[in-house]
Structures are given as structure tokens and as C-alpha cells.
A and B are shown apart, each in its own frame.
Chain A
């Protein structure tokens, strides 16, 4: 069974703080990793993709990948109330398919 696991939260951080979201996966053959943001009542929106071990930065977002530990994380710096959403970790499985985690609810308090 291919699984992607996330802490469901909610994760509460004050405005301006760093939010750290974590994800583990079970399929060692996975090569592509994604973070999606989903606002309530909306569809998932891609915010980060990462394919190699290490860090990838895009604005206030940093994705971190450690394939040996089967671990992916997303850091959000200078968190804003508009970052409050559910963050979905997705991992490719069997080629083109994606397996999604259950999502972590992030709440940024002003």
C-alpha cells in the first residue's frame, strides 16, 4: 500500500512566524514530490515541486526533500493570515499517478 502521511493539525502559528509542514511517504521509488495549497471550498493549487534531495526555495516557501529518510517538508517564512489553508503533500506513484496525504490545516493568527 502506497502511503503519504501528514499531521492533520491544525498547526497554529502567529503572523510573521515560520510554519513547518511535514510529510513522510512509503514508496522508495517515488521521484516527484509536490505541495498543494487548498483553501476551503476551492481546488488544490500547486505551490512547490521538488525532485532532488536538498532544499528548493521560491519566495517565502522552501521545500526540503530527504529521500533516504523518505521525508518532505514545506517551510513558510513570514507567515500571513492569507496562508491559512490546508496543505496537501503529493508523491508520484507508478509513473504519472499522484498519491495525496490527508493534508495539514494551517492557521496563521494575526
Chain B
């Protein structure tokens, strides 16, 4: 399976600021995904990021709040903009294994706290 590096691993941010999370994969992958996991909750898909096209956002998530870049087949970023304490969550990137069927592997996650 692909090796996924996500950074930062954690951060504490002030209200109103923005944080960009990076996801680097050791092999080329078509599909990358960004999830949010709020405290004690399961994973919620924010958006799907394909190289060369705009990200596809799920209901309840908008590009102005969560802009995503996907400049090539091994890298993506998620920005959490104009943060509020409600954005305190774990943010996870995942990639779809090219050899599997819908199999996704996850990065270690970014634990974000907004004060």
C-alpha cells in the first residue's frame, strides 16, 4: 500500500486564522480524499481531490472554507480558512489504492485545536 505523509501532525491555532495541511504520497494516485473526524465521531468526507480538476465537495462543505489543491498525482493540500473553535477536529487525507477496489489508506492525520 502507498505510504502517506501528512503534516503538520498537530497544531493549535487562533480564531480567524488559516491552516494548510499537506498530504504527500510515495506513489502516483488518482484519487485523494480529505476527511474530518470530530471528537468522538466517525469520519466525514469533506471532498474528493483529483489531479487536474477542481475538488468535489460534499454537502455542508464549501470551497471558500476548505480550499483544496491537487497540483500533481502525489500531493494535495487542504486549507481550513477563517477558523473557529468548531473547526477543532482531526483532519485526515486518504488515497485510493490503484490495485484495489475502492480501498483507501489513510495518513496519520492532523489534530487541530482552535482557540
Contact = CB atoms under 8 A, between A and B. Distances in A.
B66 interface: no
Contact of B42 (A32, A88, A92, A97): A88
A69 to B, nearest CB: 21
Query: Quick one: which of B43, B92, B96 has the most chain A CB within 10 A?
Result: B43
30 contacts: A31-B101, A32-B102, A32-B103, A34-B102, A34-B103, A42-B108, A42-B109, A43-B92, A43-B106, A43-B107, A43-B108, A43-B109, A45-B106, A46-B1, A46-B103, A46-B105, A49-B100, A49-B101, A51-B101, A88-B43, A90-B104, A92-B102, A96-B48, A96-B96, A96-B102, A98-B102, A99-B45, A100-B42, A100-B43, A103-B42
Interface residues of A, number: 21
Interface in A21-37: 31-32, 34
A54 interface: no
B63 interface: no
A98 to B, nearest CB: 6
B59 to A, nearest CB: 10
A10 interface: no
Given A42-B108, A96-B31, A102 B101 contact: no
Contacts of A44: 43, 92, 106
Contact of B48 (A31, A32, A51, A97): A97
Query: Quick one: which of A31, A49, A96 has the most chain B CB within 10 A?
Result: A96
B53 interface: no
B48 A49 contact: no
Nearest to B93: A43
Contacts of A100: 42-44
B96 A102 contact: no
Interface in A67-110: 88, 90, 92, 96-103
6 tightest Cβ-Cβ pairs between the two chains A and B: A32-B102, A43-B106, A92-B102, A100-B43, A102-B42, A43-B109
Contacts of A46: 1, 103-105
